[in-house]
Amino acid sequence: MFSDKRLIRYILRKGSDQAAEELIRRYYDDLYYYLYRQIGNGDDALDLTQEVFISALKGLSSYDDRKSSFRTWLFRIGTYKVIDSRRKLKITWFELKEGELVEEQDFHETLYQKELLDAINQYVANFQPEIQEIFHLRVYGELSFPEISSLLAQKEERIKALYYRLIKKVREEFHDYE
């Protein structure tokens, strides 16, 4: 199995479709899951996943493996795509279809969790983009503080401080939900 660096080199130097497919295959599920957790809609997450890979492959020559891993760089592109998609948010109407019946208790618990997550995301959206990015990379991307620090080219202590201050504010804001 080739390293990411080697696959990227094959793509850039030889235009290798096989190397591009391998790179996509390697990170597709993780990226989709990351985007889905932020968007909450499978179809939109699929579309964004495709957009991220297209952007990544087009901008591959600007990737610097000394600054971050390919995965981290890819997630950063994903974060920007999520922010862009939220800016373009349109109202979508859903049709009511007959389907499986859901236990009322399960439905209310799921709805409550989704509402809480949506409320937290709305709250976090009021902070500076840098803080939003740290939050998304940590919570949805499940990146470690060293990875985020490397990606954003900032000291790990600063990243942790910003993240934990935000989490404290979130807890204060949503303490009634617990």
Same domain, 134 and 59: no
Percent of the chain with pLDDT over 90: 35
User: Which of 99, 77, 88, 97 has the alpha carbon at shortest distance from 44?
Assistant: 88
Can you give the residue range of the structural domain that contains 110? Answer: 101-178
- Residue 47 banded pLDDT, cuts 50, 70, 90: very high
**pLDDT tens figures, 52-102:** 999 999 999 999 888 888 998 999 899 888 877 776 655 444 454 555 444
Among 34, 57, 90, the domain boundary falls at: 90
Task: Give this prediction's pTM.
Answer: 0.59
Q: Is 169 exposed, middle or buried (0-12, 13-18, 19+ CB in 10 A)?
A: middle
Task: Tokens 């990015």: give the residue.
Answer: 133
Same domain, 76 and 118: no
Residue 96's pLDDT is 45
Instruction: Grade residue 177 by pLDDT with cuts at 50, 70 and 90.
Output: low
**Which residue would you say has higher pLDDT here, 105 or 125?**
125
The reply to whether 6 and 42 lie within a common domain is yes
| Angle ∠(178,34,98) on CA atoms, nearest 5 | 75
Q: What is the pLDDT of residue 101?
A: 47
Q: Are residues 75 and 142 in the same domain?
A: no
Residues 82 and 119 in one domain: no
Whole-angstrom distance between the N-terminal and C-terminal Cα of the chain? 46
The verdict on 122 and 70 lying in the same domain is no
Could you give the count of Cα atoms lying within 13 Å of 79 in the half-sphere of its Cβ? Answer: 25
Which percentage of the chain shows pLDDT scores above 70?
84
Give the span between the Cα atoms of 163 and 171, in whole angstroms: 12
Residue 95 lies in a domain: no
Residues in CB range of 69: below 8 A, 6 or more apart? 4, 147, 150
Structure tokens of 101?
């019946």
Give residues with Cβ within 8 angstroms of 177, minimum separation 6: 116, 119
Residue 120 has pLDDT above 50, yes or no: yes
Q: Which residues have a Cβ under 8 Å from the Cβ of 70 and sit 6 or more positions away?
A: 4, 5, 8, 23, 27, 63
- Tens of pLDDT, residue by residue over 30-44, are 999 888 888 878 898
Give me the CATH number covering residue 125: 1.10.10.10
Structural domain tally of the chain? 2
